[in-house]
Structure 1
Amino acid sequence: MDLFYGQSHAVRGASIAISQGEVVAIMGQSGSGKSSLLYCLAGVLPVAGGEVRFEGLLLGALGDDRLSALRRDRFGFVFQHGELLPELTVEENAALPLRLAGQRKATALAAAGEVLGRLGLADLRERRPSQVSGGQNQRVAVARALVHRPTVVFADEPTGSLDSANAATVLEEFLALARAQGTAVVLVTHDHKVAARADSRYTMSDGVLAREQDVA
């Protein structure tokens, strides 16, 4: 697949296949194109060349409504800074994908509470994001990404804003829960320690993607 920003070639002929339940790490320096590739795979950015398929569906051929529904129901997202909604409680943030999919509030909150409990946040459900630590906020973001048991989670530097101790804990909990659910994870990172936890590793440089064993 290819992606351009104006005249800049952000992704150059990238080819990648992700299996059910697989954890894939994409490494690279800032500006290498790794986040752009992630958003192409998630159907957020349309590719200029090539194609992106999910379970046989050609993402570029889907209308906006079907693509939005796919991202809502089958995909999960974790961002570097969590991106929680400050006006909602921890529990309400975690339940958001279920509420957007039309689940009743009580059912959605119960499911969110279960996932939060598995991440050690059961006692913080009623707090706002501003009332918990950065590491706890990122656990809430992980809960939100996994609460609806998506097929794949796209994670863009999910531990990049945390200190090393919190980063290790959040990553451990994130991958353990994803693997328990059979959820695939596509993980963008510049941290070799984070990438080492993946099943498959790729490196991106100047928009070119290569598997780890192909990297000199």
Structure 2
Amino acid sequence: MDAILRATGVELLYGTQRAVCAVNFALSAGEVCAVMGGSGSGKSSLLYCLAGVLAPTCGEVSFDGVPFQQLGDDELSALRRERFGFVFQYGELLPDLTVEENAALPLRLAGRRKSQAHEEAGEILGRLGLAELRQRRTSQISGGQSQRVAVARALVHRPAVVFADEPTGALDSANADAVLEEFLALARSQGTAVMMVTHDAAVAARADSRYTMADGVLARRVAV
């Protein structure tokens, strides 16, 4: 299957420290990929290069065949907003907004009418078991519920790719398993590719393809 997201010879330096070393990577439409590595391995730096948040020091990242370097700042921002979704370790929800308002944000930013955006957000929240919490402030819900809201926000606009940085790292094992199961099932049902980084082998085991990263070097793991 053709790659929807591709990195060629990507390197990233922080001063003189090389965080990402000559990485070649490809992600196909609908594929779930996991990159495992410890703290400081470079996995999060790679994720943010692939998402167009960080500009690599050298090499090229492209989406749908178009290199990021060919896009202006506004075009790159629109790409991240419209075609990508993000799930962070601690959710990064807006505490002054309701669950429904947080989930609807990508649709509102895309210009969708409030009523329509909230209707679509409500549908995906219902699929994640959050229908009864739609009008609560996110400061009033649990960690597991917050991460489900973050998943809803990442997927509500049916992005091509979701980037997940330690998506269950802040949860206990029971909540982590449940949230991950719901996240990946929903992404796969929409045909959304997922690129997630994790230190947890159990999380990585749910992916279609698995990589390890150490000292900035990415290596593909072959299932045995």
- Choose from 92, 104, 114 the match for 2:101: 92
Tell me if 1:113 matches 2:127. no
Alignment of 1:6-21 (within 5 A): 6-21=15-30
Structure 2 CA distance for aligned equivalents of residues 53 and 130 of structure 1:
37
Residue 14 of structure 1 aligns to a residue in which SS? Answer: strand
Q: Indicate the residue corresponding to 1:185 in structure 2.
A: 194
User: Equivalent residue for 1:130?
Assistant: 139
Identity %: 74
- Return the alpha-carbon distance in structure 2 between the equivalents of residues 211 and 49 of structure 1: 21
Count residues with an aligned counterpart: 214
Corresponding residue number in structure 2 for 1:104: 113
Q: Deviation string for 1:21-72 (max 9, x for gaps)?
A: 0000000000000000000000000011110010011112211100000000
Give yes or no for the alignment of 1:60 onto 2:69: yes
Given residue 37 of structure 2, which amino acid in structure 1 is its aligned partner?
Answer: G
Q: Which residue of 2 aligns with 1:208?
A: 217
Aligned to 1:27: 36
2:55 aligned partner: 46
The one-character-per-residue Cα deviations of 1:167-191 (angstroms, maximum 9, x if unpaired) are 0000000000000000000010000
Residue 160 of structure 1: aligned partner: 169
1:195 maps to 2:195: no
1:213 positional shift:
2.5
Deviations 1:117-151 (A, max 9, x none): 00000000000111110000000000000000000
Structure 2 Cα separation of the partners of residues 3 and 150 of structure 1: 26
**Structure 2: segments with no counterpart, 5+ residues:** 1-9
Partner letter of residue 109 of structure 1? Answer: H
Shift of 1:199: 0.2
| Alignment partners' CA distance in 1, 2:122 and 2:90 | 22
Runs of 4+ more than 3 Å apart: none
Counterpart residue identity of residue 115, structure 2: A
CA deviations on 1:93-128 (whole Å, 9 max, x unpaired) are 000000001100000000000000000000000001
Give the structure with the higher percent strand: 2
Aligned partner of residue 53 in structure 2, secondary structure: coil
Distance in 1, matches of 2:66 and 2:110, equals: 20
Q: CA-atom RMSD, angstroms?
A: 0.8
In structure 2, C-alpha distance between the alignment counterparts of 1:26 and 1:130, rounded to whole Å? 31
Q: TM-score, normalised by structure 2?
A: 0.95
- Point out where structure 1 has 5 or more consecutive residues left out of the alignment: none
Output the TM-score relative to the length of structure 1: 0.98
The amino acid of 1:124's aligned partner reads L
Q: Give 1:4's aligned residue.
A: 13
SS of the residue corresponding to residue 35 of structure 2 reads strand
Q: CA separation in 2, counterparts of 1:129 and 1:157?
A: 20
